[in-house]
Chain A
């Protein structure tokens, strides 16, 4: 096989892996949008916040230590213990559930019946708040997240492909883990929403708020539930991205990358989020590989948005979105 084709295949595979990670963030968006009609811009910052909290708990950092030191003039930083990864993940999940409750209690409870665009703006405000809170609690420096996931080049694939084609593919172990986790997550979520009592309630709320209320489903409970699930998805995404590139501010920008994924797939479709993620992941890597050099590089910054824009002009509801019917 010619070298160029081999490179292209490698790039495609890496794109697929990156796409899975985008899809992971997009999934959180879709869940909340379906259940409450809120377009949650803060999803990316939730990933950042959860990852920072996880690192902070694992290292035994004192939350708000910076603030406490500044006000009281003390010099405290660590509790002096280390928490094992599993326990820390559970604790972080507890924090995310608390966050879900707080967000509903203090923000969205007061915004019921507002226009969608107002709710969207509120989530941007929430994103700013969480960003500040995350830095305030755990400090703004870049943190290393290590929960024991394998990293580095996958030797087996390298060897097998080298024997087959005479060129070893470079695929990161972490990406493979992320892909597997994402697949498991999607299957679990699908099973949960299809077969559990809460899942049925969730789908009922997504279908029609008032009808769901009238058969005795507590909207408040469902919203806390769905924000908790979104928090869990954010935590998983935060762990994957954090392990890949460190826990830092740019982590919250992946939320922006997830937006074109959503547009491609449609805001209301879970399979759409996955397919959209894969298309964007592969598309931007292949575009950078084929034309990027000619155009001056770093086309990944905008390719996803422009692709989604062009795509939407022809199909405004996305690939799998519900057909938009407009009436006066």
Chain B
């Protein structure tokens, strides 16, 4: 009944090439966009934004980025936390105006960028760094590459900890976002309203999802998938592994960098690098991608939603309803997350996205399955 192709006639190539070819799918997508942009901002409060929506939106971008690298291009990366840190620190430097020193003298200082462009610059800077750390992927494959990306994770965090230029020589070693406005509305800083922060992140999420979706179904995406399925065979049929792998690293790092910038500037406001962007963050995003489904944009959202909601849910039931001590709930959360990952890998290696596909197929035949 739902998701039927029948009766949905395409009369032009534009129709044929659209992102959501099935009518029901398309309307559902518009409905989701409408609710997200026009209804939620009016009804949410601080708690919902800080506990659920902001982490969900920001992690979604990171998960989309990592999914492009792992799910589409098959290059396992454990350096997500480090790349998020690059995004955050680049955003911070652009927000406060980059200062160039030479021989102990201030050579010049760039003007402060608007928060929107700072976040974008954060993404671009991360893309550059990502390409740099992606270079070894041309020689190293599989597990060796996964471990090699750990070098990025630890090295980058160390750099941001030690080089005081990155945190503008502040005594605490923290970076904290100054107040920035868009059209007179505060986006960052203590005076920012919940709905403004939400909308700002939402714009980036929607844009990232559209870009990622269209990249992955275009020629770039097909090259990435060819590399993922078998890189030697892909090379033989004419896919340039250098360009395919590095472009995957660049695009992936761009998204991860944007999510890092938003995580710092809009969500947390102040960040200490080892705490916010440690190795745990890398694993968290990796889990989102696995649980959501490798090689699926929808899966990235599903995975992010799942792992953001799970701790909130556990905390509310265990600590709130049952009155357990918080440390016990935290330990249980570890066990549950670990067990869930194993269960997911056993039951459905393609993640929540696959469950969604199966549901869709069932819905199509409902109420008259053969």
Contacts and interface: CB of A to CB of B under 8 A. Distances in A.
A110 B148 contact: no
B163 interface: yes
A253 B332 CA distance: 20
Given A125-B341, A125-B342, A301-B158, A259 B233 contact: no
A327 B142 CA distance: 15
A316 B148 contact: no
B105 interface: no
Interface string A272-314: 0000000000000000000000011111011001101100110
B147 interface: yes
A125 B338 contact: yes
Contact of A316 (B140, B162, B332): B140
Given A122-B345, A316-B141, A328-B236, A306 B155 contact: yes
Interface residues of B, number: 49
Contacts of B333: 132
Contacts of A107: 342, 346
B341 A120 contact: no
Contacts of A83: none
B327 interface: yes
Contacts of A305: 147-148, 150-151, 153-155
A260 to B, nearest CB: 7
Nearest to B336: A132
A295 B339 contact: no
Contact of A127 (B143, B151, B157, B338): B338
Question: Which one of B158, B287, B337 has the greatest number of beta carbons of chain A within 10 Å?
Answer: B158
B229 to A, nearest CB: 11
A116 B334 CA distance: 24
By size class, the interface of chain A is 35 or more
Contacts of A66: 325, 327-328
A39 interface: yes
Contacts of A162: none
Given A124-B283, A328-B236, A302 B151 contact: yes
Contact of B337 (A128, A267, A298, A313): A128
A62 to B, nearest CB: 15
Interface stretch (A49-57, A133-141, A193-201, A226-234): A133-141
A267 B324 CA distance: 43
A133 B333 CA distance: 10
B290 interface: yes
B201 to A, nearest CB: 27
B182 interface: no
B283 A312 contact: no
Given A116-B143, A306-B151, A256 B341 contact: no
25 contacts: A111-B345, A111-B346, A114-B349, A116-B142, A121-B345, A122-B341, A124-B286, A125-B337, A126-B342, A135-B327, A135-B334, A136-B331, A262-B147, A263-B144, A295-B162, A301-B158, A302-B151, A302-B158, A305-B148, A313-B136, A313-B139, A313-B140, A316-B139, A316-B140, A328-B236
